[in-house]
Amino acid sequence: METKKAPQKTETRFLLFPAEHSRGCEIGLHLPGSLQECGFNSSQPLVLIVHGWSVDGVLESWVHQLAAALRTRPVNVGLADWLPLAHNHYAIAVRNARRPQPAHPVALFQDSVDFSRSNVHLVGYSLGAHVSGFAGSYLGGRQKIGRITGLDAAGPLFEGTSPSERLSPDDAEFVDAIHTFTRQHIGLSVGIKHPVAHYDFYPNGGAFQPGCHLLDFYKHFTQHGLHAIPQTIKCAHERSVHLFIDSLLHEDMQSTSYQCGDMASFSRGLCLNCKKGRCNSLGYHVHQEPQAKSKSLFLVTRAQAPFRVYHYQFKIQFINQMEKPIKPTFTMSLLGTKEEMQQVPVMLSERITSNKTYSFLVTLELDIGEPVLLKLKWEHSTVWASVWNTMQAVIPWGGGSRSSSLRLRTIRAKAGETQQRMTFCLENKDDLFHPAQEKIFVRCEVNSKALKRKFR
């Protein structure tokens, strides 16, 4: 009498998420008719989610959040569930990632319903981003997968490797990547820092994200060692997923990113240029323009959804000679045609010296409309402000001391989202600026050609 063999455990399951199957409906070659039963619509594109390395062998909640957000679009939503291969020591999971799991359903769709690979979009998170890349490379040929999105593609064992050993622009017709946690920890970067796509987006510089607290990481690491890593890195690493979800749920609030060499230059407002494809939308609605060379784009985001902010470059020229460099603290209040923003910090990257123009970036969480007035305040400690005001009352300074005052007449601005250029002039003719003082600037007319040269 023959003994029945137990059914072999499937290494990777493929699920579809039609509206009536919020937890997923399994498809596969071993399930005849499953495409029809699971409601696959061959006239619509397929977006296949690919999760990453698993510590506990359970799908994370973001998978279903992303699936639900994608279902708001006219697409088939699927999942490559490779948990049996991902729930291992990280190095073993990396080795398993090289198996072309997501390529299998694509082949099934092609054979069963004559479905074009160009209609396939793989969305891979962390190690799943490289899994998606290997699948795209495996399929290859004359017709590539339409798109791969890498959500903070894993860094350990991939940083510094050749394109064939990781996600790369060659793996699909269009590849975009969002980098949110590339900061080094214990000698490793959680997310890969190196560009891996046609368009690589670095929100807030890509190293870390607002609202995620590094202090918790170090506190938990001292208590639990390596077991603390998965929980404490989750916020910044997973922010890539939530930025992508945000682009689906807030179509009227798309985040604009700008091509730039690094975050330091971007923080000076030097990169708010949208000419020749230098800016693009972050997330699902990215403009798909494959480039011969990877483009790195930067932006600032809020700490929670909706993540969009409004980027402005400001240029101030201080026209007096300084006896010694100073680095004052300024705040700016902006009045627009829609809203008003109060006490926005102004971050100068260098000390103020002699006659020179200083550029800086200001980001606003509200759409204030077209700016019409701004107030610049020279912030100082309460003690210093009190002493300064007393001295001003007692001693006639005349023209003012060079070491404790500044002269400025105009402020130039550029709005990143609208590409509009503006100039603000002093409301009155008193151009001497002292500590604890506030100056009011209003929109003024300038020569347009001269203004364009200033922002090149």
Question: Token pair 């006219």 is at which residue?
Answer: 74
Token pair, residue 86, equals 């991902």
Q: Distance between CA 227 and CA 342 in Å, rounded?
A: 43
Residue 6 has a pLDDT of 38
Residue 10 has a pLDDT of 54
Residue 361 has a pLDDT of 96
- Max mean pLDDT range (96-105, 131-140, 298-307): 298-307
- Mean pLDDT for 10-24 is 80
- The band of 456, judged by pLDDT with boundaries at 50, 70 and 90, is very low
Give the phi and the psi of residue 331 in degrees, each rounded to 5. -130, 155
Task: Out of 34, 81, 121, 152, pick the active-site residue.
Answer: 152
125-144: b (≥16 Cβ within 10 Å) or e: bbbbbbbbbbbbbbbeeeeb
In this predicted structure, which of 168-172, 220-224, 231-235 has the lowest mean pLDDT?
A: 220-224
Question: Is-catalytic flag, 126?
Answer: yes
More confident residue, 455 or 375: 375
pLDDT tens, position by position, 274-323: 998 899 999 999 999 888 899 999 999 999 999 999 999 999 988 876 67
Residue 234 has pLDDT above 80, yes or no: yes
Angle made by CA atoms 451, 364, 327, in degrees to the nearest 5: 70
Picking from 397, 399, 416, 395, the residue whose alpha carbon sits closest to that of residue 407 is: 399
- Mean pLDDT for 211-228 is 60
In this predicted structure, which of 99-108, 135-144, 256-265, 388-397 has the lowest mean pLDDT?
A: 388-397
**What topology does CATH give the domain 13-299?**
Rossmann fold (3.40.50)
- Rg of the chain over Cα atoms, rounded to whole angstroms, equals 27
- Mean pLDDT for 198-213 is 93
Q: Distance between CA 249 and CA 270 in Å, rounded?
A: 30
Residue 385 has a pLDDT of 45
Q: Distance between CA 187 and CA 179 in Å, rounded?
A: 18
3 state DSSP class of 164: helix
Residue 5 has a pLDDT of 39
Task: Out of 126, 168, 255, 257, pick the active-site residue.
Answer: 126
Task: Tell me which amino acid residue 310 is.
Answer: Y
Token pair, residue 244, equals 């992508």
Q: Distance between CA 166 and CA 98 in Å, rounded?
A: 9
Task: Out of 51, 130, 194, 237, pick the active-site residue.
Answer: 237
Q: What residue numbers does the annotated binding site cover? A: 166, 171
**310-454 to CATH, choices 3.40.50.300, 2.60.60.20, 3.30.930.10, 2.70.150.10:** 2.60.60.20
- DSSP 8-state class, residue 242: H
- Mean pLDDT for 102-108 is 73
Using CA atoms, how far residue 143 sits from 122, 126, 198, 219, 397, in Å, is 15, 26, 18, 49, 76
Phi-psi category of residue 445: left, alpha or beta, with phi > 0 → left and psi -120 to 50 → alpha: beta
Question: Is-catalytic flag, 179?
Answer: no
What is the location of CATH 3.40.50.1820 in the chain? 13-299
- Max mean pLDDT range (6-10, 41-45, 171-175, 385-389): 171-175
More confident residue, 320 or 79: 79
Residue 223's Cβ-side half-sphere holds a number of Cα atoms within 13 Å equal to: 9
Question: Token pair 């622009």 is at which residue?
Answer: 169
More confident residue, 29 or 276: 276
In this predicted structure, which of 16-20, 67-71, 149-153, 393-397 has the lowest mean pLDDT?
A: 393-397
- The band of 228, judged by pLDDT with boundaries at 50, 70 and 90, is low
Q: For a pLDDT cut of 90, what percent of the chain falls above it?
A: 59
Q: What residue numbers does the annotated binding site for Ca(2+) cover? A: 166, 171
Picking from 451, 416, 423, 413, the residue whose alpha carbon sits closest to that of residue 274 is: 416
Average pLDDT score over the chain: 85
What is the location of CATH 2.60.60.20 in the chain? 310-454
